[in-house]
Amino acid sequence: MAETAMMAANRYRLRAAAQQGQTAPRLVLDLLGQTDRLLGVILLFNTMVNAASAALAGVIGATLFGEDEWVLGAATLAVSFVILVFSEITPKVLGARYADQLAQVCAFVLKPLLTVARPVVSLTNLLVSGLLALMRLKPAEENHATRLSAEELRVLVLESGSFIPQKHRSILLNLFDLEDITVEDVMIPRGSIEAIDLSEPMGKIKTQISTCYHTRIPVYEGDWSSVVGILHHRRLLAALIEGELDHTALRERLAKPYFIPGNTPVYSQLQFFQENQQRIALVVDEYGEIEGLVTLEDIIEELIGKFTTTQPGAVGALAWSKNGSVLVDGTRSLRDLNRALGLDLPLEGPKTLNGLILEHFRDIPDGEVSIRVAGVTIEVVQTQDRMVKTARLFRPAPVED
């Protein structure tokens, strides 16, 4: 029972209890830190007791019924049955079922036994080490054996049940995904970026600034290949109040643009934002062409979920209708669709629904056509400006085992 309970005990739960100052968990962890000696003392006394019980059964049988062969055979069978039921199966079942509690009780017995039998255990372990060396086997280090990978931590979070609230569990799982997500997965595509063109008349720029929802706005001159900087609304207050806002004043209040490659992992970009004291970056491809824009809020929303809901005209939450379909904007992220609708659309290539449709058709679809991707039927409803404006998705049929 002691052997099974000690090996099956939850070491992370014991560490948490030990950090709170509890003596028994600390004693268990100390014994588990020297597993070879722990197993040595347990098996030493276990073997002694089993051998003594077999010898004692033989003596009792011979004393009561004589020294015939059938007596020794019956005594052997009887003691084997007793050991199997009462000393092996039942104690080990109890040890496995109540491992954490029994391990703390057994530790108070095993610690003194280990102290008393240390010379014998050390000699036995020395012989075992020599045997392992001859077999070219090297025991794993304790710290390495108890170390968890990211996938194992994910499983722990998923199986935490009521110990971790659902919202916290979702944030932790999103945190594990940050290493696999790149900036391209969360950025705003270039076609959806609200920006200011310095080549436009000042009156049109003022109207755009006064109606703009965003705090920081990219500014370019002529086309996206000539990005001048990033404009913060707060820097324009004085000029707007005094009525002195012109192209020169606007250019003087621009901050230097911050460019990042599109294949940057989101987790690394979060660190870069912190180190460079930035909140917004323009995403470029391998040729230096601007692909989109990513903000600190975009990365935070990837962790905790959407929280920006006050933007005028913002697209509402996705949900299947009664007939099992949903109307979706073509610029919707495939990651958002998978998360909101429980789909499994591929994420390796295009990042938006429009890109996925165009990749499969290899052309801009003309009229109402449909395709099926990853079991999802996608019907093109409207095309505009060389892109799929709106599409209808149909809920995939459940897959039977």
In the numeric block, the tokens 């003392």 are attached to: 41
Q: 217: which strand partners?
A: 231
Arithmetic mean of pLDDT, 277-302? 85
Question: Do residues 331 and 298 lie in contact, with contact meaning Cβ atoms separated by under 8 Å?
Answer: no
Q: Write the burial class of residue 338 (CB in 10 Å: 0-12 exposed, 13-18 middle, 19+ buried).
A: middle
In 25-156, beta strands by DSSP E: none
pLDDT digits (tens, 9 = 90+) for 300-342: 877 776 665 445 444 456 778 888 888 888 878 787 788 778 8
Beta bridge partners of 189: 292
pLDDT at 269: 86
Q: What is the mean pLDDT of the chain?
A: 81
Specify the amino acid at residue 120. V
| Ranges in the chain annotated CATH 3.10.580.10 | 181-304
194, two tokens: 């609200």
364-373 average pLDDT score: 79
- Rounded to the nearest 10 degrees, the angle between the axes of helix 296-304 and helix 266-276 is 130
Most confident of 40-44, 204-208, 210-214: 40-44
Q: What ranges in 246-381 are assigned the alpha helix state H?
A: 247-252, 266-276, 296-304, 334-341, 353-361
Q: What is the pTM of this model?
A: 0.56
User: What's the mean pLDDT in 137-141?
Assistant: 65
Q: How confident is the model at residue 93 (pLDDT cuts 50, 70, 90)?
A: very high
Q: Where in the chain do CATH 3.30.465.10 domains reside?
A: 325-394
- Residue 278 and residue 282: Cα distance in Å, rounded? 11
What superfamily would CATH give domain 181-304? CBS-domain (3.10.580.10)
Structure tokens of 129?
Answer: 């080490």
- Looking at domain 325-394, does it have CATH number 3.40.50.620? no
pLDDT-above-70 percentage for the chain: 90
What is the model's pLDDT at position 154? 73
Cα separation, 42 vs 109, whole angstroms = 10
pLDDT tens-place string over residues 101-117: 899 888 898 888 888 88
